[in-house]
Chains A and B, each alone.
Chain A
Amino acid sequence: MIKRLLLLFFSAPVLFALEPIAPLPTHLEDVDIAKAKLGRMLYLDPILSSDKNVSCHSCHSFDYGSADPNPVSLGVHGRKGDIQSPPIYNSRYNFKQFWNGRAKDLKEQLNGPLFNHAEMNMTPEEIETRLNENRTYQDLFKKIYGATPITVENVTDAIVEFEKALTTPNSRFDRYLRGEIKLSPDEEKGYEKFKSLGCVTCHNGINIGSNAFQKMGLFIDYPYDKKYQDRYAFTKKEIHKNVFKVPTLRNITLTAPFFHDANATTLEEAIEMMAHYNLGITLSKQDIALLVAFLKTLEGERPAILDLK
């Protein structure tokens, strides 16, 4: 069957399906608000870092679309990270976590930064010790989880619950997809370009990306630097060198700098580089402007959980 359909594909003009991008849900039904609020508290609390200077928020700031404006983040004692911090918003919809997708979900992801030497540098025992000494956390955990003492599992659970609530619904583009508004002519043309140029072959789905791996430099080789943990670092397959999870384009206007190595500082620059390396084309200034216009429509609302009392 596959062969038959593939032949159909190659012999026929390109077929167009339904829109390849899905809007974010406006309401989340599966979030335990109490836990999420506890998670928010933990997310913001540097108590979870060994020197008590770094919180989750230090590197995934709500002010920058939950990413880090620095090329690499600074962890405990000013230690530098080795890769650009990706945004947390909407990460619940990522097919895998981290740039190279080594964690299968949010819970697994959380073990990375918490116990990384350069990031928060904690141990599970230390987390438990600290939180169990804290009266506020004691009360909150007891109230929400019923059990004492506080365990790492419950800490992780609360933060994950918070992260699940970090979605940015009702972007202009989502509303356009839902038929609520019309895009401006430039935005619409930008979207058309986005599709016809082939950006959409990788950036699609609810997160406009983050549902597959792709090689950085599909057509023209991108400089390889092994300090960046790519897919190869995880699978050790030659073809996975410079392969990363396709990043989400939601809130892309807020999360500069771009790429794993933060090599693009502006959106125009990033678009130009993507066209060059991954599409094998050179875009006109006009096309880039149209694409930027489209990408701006992907900026969503600030997650409601952040302002929940």
Chain B
Amino acid sequence: MRSNLKISLAFLMGLVSVFLTVYYYVHQREYSQQYKTVINAFHTLQSDYDALSYDILKSALYGYNNQDDISQGARNLNEAYADLYNAPLFSKEQYLSLDYSLIDLGSDIAEYNSAVEHYLMLNAGIKNSFVFLINYANRSHHIFPPDATIHNDIHAIISELSNMRLLLEEMHLKSIGPHLQNIKNFETTNDEQKAFIKTLTLHIRYIQKNFPDFIVIITKLQDKGLTTMLSNLQNSFNQVAKNDFIMIDRFAMLLLVLIITALIIIVNLLLRSQRENRNLKILQKELEYVANFDILTGLLNRNSFNQTLALKTYADPTLLLVNINDFKHVNDIYGSNIGDYILKEVSQLIKLPIFEPFNPSYYRLGGDDFGILFENLPQKAAYSFAEALAHSIKYYLFIKDDIEVNITVNIAINTQEPLLENADMVLKHHKKSSLEAIVTFSEELGLKEQIQKNINILKSLSSAIDDHRIIPYFQPIIDLKSGKIVKYEALIRQVSEEGEIIVPDRFLALAAQTPLYRELTKMMIERVFETFESEPYRFSINLSMRDLLDRGLMQILEELLKNNPQSAKRLEIELLESENLTNIDVVKHFITLLKSYGCRIAIDDFGTGYSNFSHLAKLSVDTLKIDGSLISRIETNEKYLLTVQTIVRYAEALGVETTAEFVETKETALKLREIGITYGQGYYFDKPQSSVVAKEIIL
């Protein structure tokens, strides 16, 4: 579940549970109050009923009695019932089932009350009659003669009535009949006796007539019906109320579950946010680490290096820039696994204990560049530190997966700002020109000026290309036997904006390291073909073997050959062997291609540098151009002469022609002809010229 949803849900549940809690509280309180009202009404009703019963008993017991309590009791009972009947709870739907019982109870109470009224009426008469009868029984002896039979009848009746009231039975009433008849039949003329008999009869008859009713009413009053009914009703009520309480309980439980769920979600969210916070902090630390440290070696990185310098925390800083020599080759040969291993090892090796006093910090500044920054390091110490470091790495044995690798480093020492740039510059420059492992940067090296100069050259070259100020010069090549010009070598020239002719020594090597080189070559070849389209001479252009690997350039060349088949037959390519020519097959293939157009192939500058005899055997070369440094010395040094002679013999054996450069004197020319060199070229014959001019050569 998404966090937002959870938060909304928790909020909603919280809201709902607050609402429900309030609802529950109000409802529960209202219900409890209503329940209490009913229960109280029940209790009041029961206790009023009990009190009334008690008062009735009291009235029955005492000869005379204050009946106010009874009338008040009856009123209380009615009011208590009204309270119960009107209790708000009974208007609720689930309690409607009790309505009939409630109404029954009401009519029973009304009946009970009217029974009480009836009882009071009867009780008064019966009570009074008994009192009278007992009093009269005593008086009879004063009124009648002692032997009068009436005494027996009176006593018999009193006795029967006494039994009757003891047993609360009416059966004795029948047995008093004859005695009552005797009394009534008693003959007398005495007024007092007559009055006595009349009153006596009246009361006996009253009892006779009303006692059965009295028994009925007493039985009714002692009936437990009302109590039973009340307790039944109360039970039914409690049953319904129990359901209500169960509902309330369930509601409370539901509420509890809701609240707990909301709490769990909230706690969960809190925990999650805490966890995410923690993760964010970890991530932040990682990012900080990555920002400042190199992951592979654990050293500080270049960013950190820049920051340290920017903050100028180092007073008088010295940088040792350590570069692993030929590290690219290590990676190529052994794979990046071992390359990484070496980088890690080196990152530890550079931490020499002797550095410690000078607050060193260690950086990986680039692929195979490590930096060590020192504070207040004396110049001499810097040099010996670098030596010690180079030494320790040189003799350290890197072993990984049973492979041993030897590593050497170059180290630049620099105290001049910008620290890294200067160190880097001097290191690169130094690698080209020196075998020394250590170099110290100083302004005197003029590296900056050199770089500026190079930039200027390239700028001017670039604008020359744009303005088509790259032009060919032509130098004739002479057949030494006939002394006739047989071909021209095309040589590249740059024309400056001021019209000055600039020789390739000043720009070509530099241009070869830039994309400008291809432009130059392309422009050159095109111009040469233009020139020799209308000239009958053979001509040659210079290409390095490396140029043959440039497919784009070769396509342009092939296109020109196709379009100028006549010129192609007169073309000779002077190939300059390259130091690191690895793919001889490409060269062979290209030579075959050129030959199919009728081109000839010459090897330029043969006899020095990387001249490779085995290549000569493999490649079907037409001419060997012997290097000018040999030719210019044959006059003065026998060894050079011998070398040239050997080359010539070798060429003759292969059936290959030879050309000699740098022919500057007549003597040299004659000597060359003498040892059998086919062609000559040099200032003795003619300088390179901007156009092809046939000149008479005198040998």
Contact = CB atoms under 8 A, between A and B. Distances in A.
Interface stretch (A40-48, A125-133, A201-209): A201-209
A231 B123 CA distance: 18
Contact of A219 (B75, B195, B202, B222): B202
B60 A280 contact: no
B62 A21 contact: no
Contacts of B195: 282
Contacts of A196: 131
Interface string B122-152: 0111011111100000000000000000000
Contact of B61 (A8, A198, A211): A8
Interface stretch (B66-74, B472-480, B655-663, B679-687): B66-74
B71 A212 contact: yes
Contacts of B131: 14, 196, 198
A1 interface: yes
A278 to B, nearest CB: 8
Looking at B62, B64, B72, B114, which has the most chain A CB atoms within 10 Å of its CB? B64
B66 A10 contact: no
A189 to B, nearest CB: 16
Given A211-B71, A212-B71, A16 B222 contact: no
A250 interface: no
B649 to A, nearest CB: 151
Contact of B168 (A3, A206, A219, A220): A3
B66 A15 contact: no
B61 A15 contact: yes
A18 B64 CA distance: 9
Interface string A81-122: 000000000000101100000001000000000000000000
A93 B66 CA distance: 13
Looking at A18, A206, A219, A220, which has the most chain B CB atoms within 10 Å of its CB? A219
A15 B57 contact: no
A279 B206 CA distance: 11
B206 A202 contact: no
Interface string B21-64: 00000000000000000000000000000000100111011111
B205 to A, nearest CB: 9
A243 interface: yes
B77 interface: no
B199 A280 contact: yes
Looking at B74, B128, B221, B222, which has the most chain A CB atoms within 10 Å of its CB? B128
B120 A212 contact: yes
Given A2-B53, A220-B202, A198 B127 contact: yes
A280 B121 contact: no
B118 interface: yes
A215 interface: yes
B199 A281 contact: yes
Contacts of B120: 212-214
Interface string B483-501: 0000000000000000000
SS class, residues of chain A in contact with chain B: loop
B128 A198 contact: yes
Contacts of A2: 53, 56-57, 60, 218, 221-222
A299 B165 CA distance: 39
A95 B60 contact: no
A230 B268 CA distance: 82
Given A201-B128, A218-B124, A282-B199, A9 B66 contact: no
A219 B62 contact: no
Nearest to A243: B121
Nearest to B218: A6
Contacts of B57: 1-2, 5-6
Contact of A205 (B68, B124, B166): B68
Nearest to B61: A9
Contacts of A104: 75
A200 interface: yes
B216 to A, nearest CB: 12
Looking at B65, B129, B131, B195, which has the most chain A CB atoms within 10 Å of its CB? B65
Contacts of A21: 66
B203 interface: yes
A280 B68 contact: no
Looking at A17, A22, A235, which has the most chain B CB atoms within 10 Å of its CB? A17
A213 B199 contact: no
Contacts of B53: 2
A230 B70 CA distance: 21
B249 interface: no
A308 interface: no
A136 interface: no
The bracket for how many chain B residues form the interface is 35 or more
Interface string A1-38: 11101111111001111111110000000000000000
A234 to B, nearest CB: 11
A22 B199 contact: no
B64 A17 contact: yes
A9 B126 CA distance: 12
B663 to A, nearest CB: 146
A218 B123 CA distance: 11
Contacts of A195: 63-64
Given A2-B53, A219-B206, A281-B132, A14 B63 contact: yes
A218 B125 contact: yes
B184 to A, nearest CB: 16
Contact of A17 (B58, B72, B127): B58
A15 B63 contact: yes
B71 A201 contact: no
A198 B133 CA distance: 13
Contact of A10 (B58, B72, B168): B168
Interface string B319-354: 000000000000000000000000000000000000
Contact of B63 (A16, A22, A215, A220): A16
Contact of B203 (A8, A206, A219): A219
A10 B218 CA distance: 13
Contacts of B667: none
Contacts of A281: 132, 199
B591 to A, nearest CB: 132
A15 B67 contact: no
A212 B60 contact: no
B526 interface: no
A280 B64 contact: no
A201 B64 contact: yes
B651 to A, nearest CB: 146
Contacts of B62: 14-17, 20
B117 interface: yes
A198 B128 CA distance: 6
A11 B202 contact: no
Contacts of B66: 17-22, 204-206
Interface string A205-246: 111000111110011100000000000000100010001000
Contacts of B56: 2
A239 B206 CA distance: 15
Interface string B219-230: 001100000000
Given A3-B168, A11-B162, A280-B202, 7 more contacts: A2-B56, A2-B218, A3-B222, A201-B128, A204-B65, A204-B68, A280-B132
Interface of B: 53, 56-58, 60-68, 70-72, 74-75, 114, 117-118, 120-121, 123-125, 127-132, 162, 165-166, 168, 195, 199, 202-203, 206, 218, 221-222
8 contacts: A2-B57, A3-B168, A6-B168, A10-B162, A196-B131, A204-B65, A204-B68, A213-B120
Please provide the 7 A-B residue pairs with the shortest distance between their CB atoms, ordered closest to farther: A10-B165, A95-B71, A14-B63, A198-B128, A205-B68, A2-B222, A17-B62
